[in-house]
Every structure is written in C-alpha cells, then in structure tokens.
Structure 1
C-alpha cells in the first residue's frame, strides 16, 4: 500500500501565494508603464523581479526579502514550476504563430540576411567566450560549452518584440518589414536548434562523437515530429474541434505542447525546443480553429509569461556589476552583441544586393533579442553553464537591444521610399 504524500505545508503555501500575487501585480504594473514609455513590456516585467529580488529588496530590506523570497530549494521550485509552464506555453505559441508562408515568400534574400545575422555574431560570441578570463566563468563550466552558449545568445532574434515593433511603426505592410520578419523566422528556428545542441553538449562530454550525437538527436526529433506526430496531431485537433467549443481545443493544444517538451527532455534536449517544435506542428495542421486558442493566448500572454519574466528578474543581481571585471565583461558582451548582429545582417543584405538603408534597417530590426535571449540565459543558468553574474549580463543585453531597436529602425525606415505596392497594402490593412 502506497504511503500518502503529505500536502504542501501551510506556511510554504502562504509564501507561494504571496509571491505569485506580488510578482504578477508588479509585472503587470511595470509592464504597462514600460509600454507607455514606448519600451517592450518585457522590460517592465523583468524589472518587477529585479525590484523584488536581491538587487533592490534584498539589498535594502534583507529581512523582508528572506521572508518573502526564501532561498530554500523547495520554495523556489514552486515558483520555478509556474515559470517553466509559462515559458513552455509562450514558446509553443510562438511556434504556432510563425508565418512560414512569409518565410517562403522572402526567398533567397532572407536566407542571405539570416546567414550573415547568424554566422557573424555566433562566431564573435564564441570567440569572446573562449577569450574571457577564467575568473568570470562559473567554477565548473566547460569553456567550449560556455562559449557556444554565449554565441547562441549573440545570434538569436526575438520575433515577438520585432513583430510588435513593426506593427506599432506601421512597417508590417512594407517590403522591409516582410524581410525583417522572414529573416527573424530563420534566426528563431536556427537559434532553437543551436540552443538544443548546446544544452545537450552541456549535459554530456564534449567529444566529437557526443557533438554528432547531439546534432543527430535534434535532427531525429524534428523528423519524427514532422513525419509521425504531425498526422496524429492534425487528426486529434480536428476531432476535438468538431464540437465547436474552444475549451477542449485549447486544453488539447496545451497537452500537445507539454508532451513535445517532455519528449525532447527525455532525449536530453531542452524542453523549450520540444515546445517550439510542437507549436510548429500545430501551426502546420490544416483545419485548426485559431479563434479557439484566443483564451489560451490571453492567459499565457497576460498571466503566465509576465510571471515567468518576473521570476527571471528575481535571479538578476545588479550588484554584480559593481565588480569592475563583471562590468567590463558586460560592456564587451553588449558591444559584441550589437555590432555583430548589425554587421552580420548588413553584410548579408548587401550580399543580396539590397541598398544601404535597407541593410541598416535590417541590422536595427534584427538586433532585438528580447524573449529568446532571456530563455537562452535561463537555460544556461539552470544547466550551470552560466553563473548569476553572466546570467545578469546576458539578460541586460536582451533588455538593451530590445529598447534600442525601435528608434534605430524608425530612423532607418524613414529613409526608405515607399513603393506603390506598399501603399496599396497599407490601404488594404487600414
């Protein structure tokens, strides 16, 4: 006879409820303030965790901070569980809303831009990771794996931030807007693949056989998802959606995303990679009632995602920047991130025979790291590849690049003439 497990204690439950309430309230409030200041909501949501974490509350009121955010693993794991659910569904929704048709329409130009925007910052990030002094690396980190994680963080782009920026600036109907989104989709897909390979390498040794096995496992997961899982998912969604009620469809999609995440995790790949692939599979299924997913999207974007970013903010320790070595590394990594992505996208655009200002606009637009880089940082921290100081540095890069991308893109786009076709698209959308 199995011994029943004792329920969660009264005090841990009280602390958990207070943590979720305060973090969500602060994330929503500061997120709205960030939007009013013409910044991504992500900035305010991360700031909520910074305010309630060691950077501010822990430094000014350590007693209250220890009571509200105790460092016992069991208590922190409750918040982690909520954050993990939020990020998995957020990544899955991202995959579900990628316009793969737009990627096909972008054609070879997007491939050139993405190649430059991926290869150059990836190489620079890996180079910086290999050259940094040992004192700024985590004690047990394998330097090549650390360097690869840093390279992945440098080369990713954030589709949610980019899409929102293009929409607010009225550029989604412009040719440059289509090119930016097409290139960002390629960056996103390749970025998740690289992250999964890097995570698999971090979980094992770094021999050539292990690297090949990691790459092969990623490829196998994608093939199985497309060939075997896609028809089953499509049939299941059509059957569930036949009743016309949104609830069963939304619940089924959540189950699918979490099962994909569990499957890749069992293969020693990152769960977020599985959630992303699951979102792509759902996205490719014909007959999916997307209106039925509106309630799920609202809950994820309004509740679970802000909670995830607030929990990320709890792990940011800005006091680490008071150390000259860490501050120097932060400035170096930020410079490499901005310059590498801009130069890479610009070189790729010029190779595709685009004009100067088109290249500038592409470099500015693709520089926003946002959500994706934050997730890369969280994965690195969880695997022990990054310590708190380097985690803080990478998240700061995500914030700074997401804030600076809109004004830089606005400056470049203003210098691009509008074609007749673009004006017609604008009339249709208005």
Structure 2
C-alpha cells in the first residue's frame, strides 16, 4: 500500500462509520431501526447523491482503481463474518427441534415461490438487461436466486434494533433465512459453472456432497469448541474466550469457502454451535458483540449502499423493469412465507411477520449481484436494479415487522429468551413486550 492508498483507506472507513452511525441515530429518532440509516448512508456517500453534489469529492473518495475497493471489501468481509456468527448465536435450537415442520415449511415455501417467479421473470425481461457472457438460462437462474435469498445479517440487525430477536417469529425468521440461503448459494455455484461451460451432473452431486461433509464436520466439532471455551473461561479477562470464538468463525468460514460453499455459511454454523452458551461465556462475548454491532455492521451496511446508482432509473424501460422485479420480489416472498407459515400451523399475523422479515435481502443480494456482474451474467443496468431491490426490501422490512409484530401474541418462553439475550449486551433491562420496541 502506498501512502495515498493508506490515507484513502482510512478516510473511507472514517466516512462510512461516521455517516453510518449518524444516520443510524437519526433513523432511531424517527422510529426506524438503525439498519435503515446505515444502508441509506451508503446511498448518500455513493454515486446517487455525493457524485451529483460534488463529482470531484466522489472521484477522490471512491476511485475506480480495482485495488482500492478490495481493501474496504476485506474489512467488510471480516466484519460481516463476525456479525453473522454473533447473530446466529442467538438462535434457539431447542425451539427449532421442537418445531421442525414449521421451519421446513416456511423456509421451503419462502424460497420456492419467489425463486420460481424470479426464473420466470428472467426468461421474460428484455435482452438488453443480460450481461455480455449470459445466456437466457443462466440469467433466469440468477434472477431466481436474487428473488429467493434473504439477508441474515440485515434481518438479524433489524430484529436486534427492534428488540425482536428473542421472539419466536424472530427465531423462525433467522432459521428459515439460513435454510434458504444454503440452497441459494448452491444454485449460484451452478450458475457459475454454467457460465464457465463446466456444468455437469457430477458438479451438482459434488456441491451436495460438500455441504453434507461440512455439516458433519461442524457437528463433530461442537464438543471441541465447547471444551475450548470452557477452559478459556478459567482464564482472567475476556480475551481468551473472544480469541477462540473469532478463530472458530474464521476457520469455519475458510472451510466452507474451500468446499465451494459461501464463507458466510461457516460463520453461521459456528454461531449455531455457540447457541445457548454458559452465562460466563455469554458475558465475556458481550464486548465482541458490541464492537461488531457498533463498528463493523455500520461499515458493512454502508458499503453495501455504496453500490446503488439510482440514475439508471432515468431510463423508462429500466424503471419499468425495476418496478416489476421489486413487486414480484416483495410479493413472492410475502406469499411464500405466509403460505409456509400457515402450513406450519402459525397464525395469520405470524405469517405476515415472517414475510416482512424474510423480505430483507440486503447485502446478500448485493453479493449475488456482484458475482453476476463479474461473471457477465448481469448488465450494469440490471445490477443497479438488483442492488436497489436489496436496499428497498431491507428498508421496508423494519416498519412492516413493527406493524405485524404488534398484532402477534407472545409466549412466556420469549421473555426467558430475552433474559438470556440481555446478557450479550449492556442493556439494563429486558423488554416485557417485543412489539413495543
């Protein structure tokens, strides 16, 4: 790194964290969760606002040099892996085991219906939205993935900001999103193989085999991680517990990535291994959770918003395509989640709340769009549409969740889960009614 690269890198981090934190605070002041402000801060600092207000400042802050964004992406990747790991640690696996039918029905329906709509949409969208290396089949599959995914980091942050992470609906939303995204990443790997002309039956079998192998290793590693944390608890201070946790998250992420799976899957798996930890481990990890939510999450979410360029909507054809994709993405996810919830014997309002939470696509969709653009499957205009949908669905999730959850009946075990969750933070009290937060 040259001196200028170092200076620019530090300025970028400063701007993202400062503006993200400020807009997060502003969002809370007007009754929205902080994640909304953090996502929109990237839009303000990106080509949509800053480039039009001060082209010279934008060109200096965000140069087109490929090496510079990679520095920011590295920090964001590290931060989002920690964020996913800490967020998934709040999953109540005991409830998941008690309600497997509900989790399976919600995750399946909330993926299959929007995925099918996405494939159909991809087959009908104008050819000018296809990338330079795309055929219609790979493009349609990628649009299916775009509409089918949910963003675990954004969902977890939204639920945390609203004080709903401990609710049954919050737990089911995270579990369903995890199931959806595992399938979506496998389909994305098939799209990559199709683009390279290497898709064969063996590739599909290999992807499924790698997933099963990874899950088997994770399950076998649970006693080892618990034992290491138990020994670390005897040491003075929080350092050993935090270090072991971060090493586990990074190692599992590297393992899943090496098998052709998404690295986020490894972080999520470690978080699940950490679910229902001892109170001593929970207390010692509280500082890691605070830094992750207060520093890394704003940088990551603001960085996702940087990729949005709303100027492409000036073209009527692109605007019409964006409206169609957004409508089908939102409607398909709501309908699929609601259908799955009703099949899983949940109430009307619980079904709508699940649809609201799972609609947040956030930076996961941005990652998919980035891969699609790099492979030449998406055109720049289609890339902007996909990122716009990611941001808008993430912004919509918060008010929709607040409205629907206010009408959901809450159970006594949710309060017990809230008490456990409070140990992860510096909150002085535990909410008595999640719908009021």
Report the TM-score range of the alignment, normalised by the length of the smaller protein. Answer: 0.7 to 0.9
CA distance in 1, matches of 2:161, 2:90: 18
Partner of residue 136, structure 1: 129
| 1:100 paired to 2:93 | yes
After superposition, the Cα gap between the structure-2 partners of 1:217 and 1:148, relative to the gap in structure 1 and judged at 3 Å, is farther
Residues 281-296 of structure 1: pairs in structure 2 closer than 5 A? 281-283=273-275, 289-296=281-288
Matches within 5 A, 1:6-405: 8-141=1-134, 143-158=136-151, 177-178=167-168, 180-204=169-193, 205-227=198-220, 229-283=221-275, 289-354=281-346, 356-370=348-362, 372-378=364-370, 380-381=372-373, 385-405=377-397
Secondary structure (helix, strand or coil) at the match of 2:291 reads helix
Q: SS of 1:289's equivalent?
A: helix
Q: Name stretches of at least 5 consecutive residues in structure 2 with no aligned partner.
A: 420-429, 433-437
**Deviation of the 1:96 alpha carbon:** 1.9
In 1, Cα distance between equivalents of 2:256 and 2:238? 28
- Structure 1 length-normalised TM: 0.84
Change (3 A) 1:49 1:256: same
SS state at 1:304 partner: helix
1:411 to partner: Cα distance: 4.7
Distance 1:163 1:429 in 2: 17
| Cα offset, 1:410, TM superposition | 5.0
- Any conservation in 2 of the 1:110–1:182 contact (CA below 8 Å)? no
Contact in 1 for aligned 2:150/2:361 (Cα 8 Å): yes
**Structure 1 pair 113/31, CA: closer, same or farther in 2 (3 Å)?**
same
Q: 1:195 to 1:110 in 2, by over 3 A?
A: closer
Q: Residues of 1 paired with 2:132 and 2:101: CA distance?
A: 43
Distance across 2 between alignment mates of 1:359 and 1:352: 9
Deviation track 1:342-367 (CA, whole Å, cap 9, x = no partner) reads 21222233334555455444434443
Does the 8 A contact of 1:111 with 1:183 survive in 2? Answer: no
Assess if the C-alpha contact under 8 Å between 1:156 and 1:187 holds in 2. Answer: no
Alpha-carbon distance change, 365 to 281 in structure 1, aligned in 2, over 3 angstroms:
closer
Please report how far the alpha carbon of residue 209 of structure 1 lies from its aligned counterpart in structure 2 after TM superposition.
2.2
Provide the secondary structure at the position in 2 that maps to 1:283: coil
More off after superposition, 36-45 vs 153-162: 153-162
Change in 2 beyond 3 A, CA 1:270/1:101: same
Change (3 A) 1:46 1:141: farther
Contact 2:307–2:387 under 8 Å retained in 1: no
Deviations 1:249-295 (CA, angstroms, capped at 9, x unpaired): 11221111111122222222222222222322333777870111111
Alignment: residue pair count: 417
The answer to whether the Cα contact below 8 Å between 1:40 and 1:403 also exists between their aligned partners in 2 is no
TM score, norm. by length of structure 2:
0.83
CA distance in 1, matches of 2:415, 2:179: 33
- Report the CA distance shift for 1:37/1:158 in structure 2 as closer, same or farther (over 3 A): farther
RMSD of Structure 2 on Structure 1 (CA): 3.3
1:137, 1:386 within 8 Å by CA — same for their partners in 2?
yes
| 8 Å Cα contact 2:107/2:179 also seen in 1 | no
Question: Aligned-pair distance for 1:206?
Answer: 2.6
Q: Distance in 2 between matches of 1:329 and 1:409?
A: 27
Partner deviation per Cα, 1:104-141 (whole Å, 9 max, x = no partner): 33343343333322221122122222332221122224
Q: Is the CA contact (8 Å cut-off) linking 1:184 and 1:366 kept in structure 2? A: yes
In the alignment, the residues of structure 1 paired with residue 74 and residue 113 of structure 2 have an alpha-carbon distance, to the nearest angstrom, of: 36
**Preserved contact between residue 196 and residue 218 of structure 1 (Cα < 8 Å):** no
Shift in Å, 1:424: 9.4
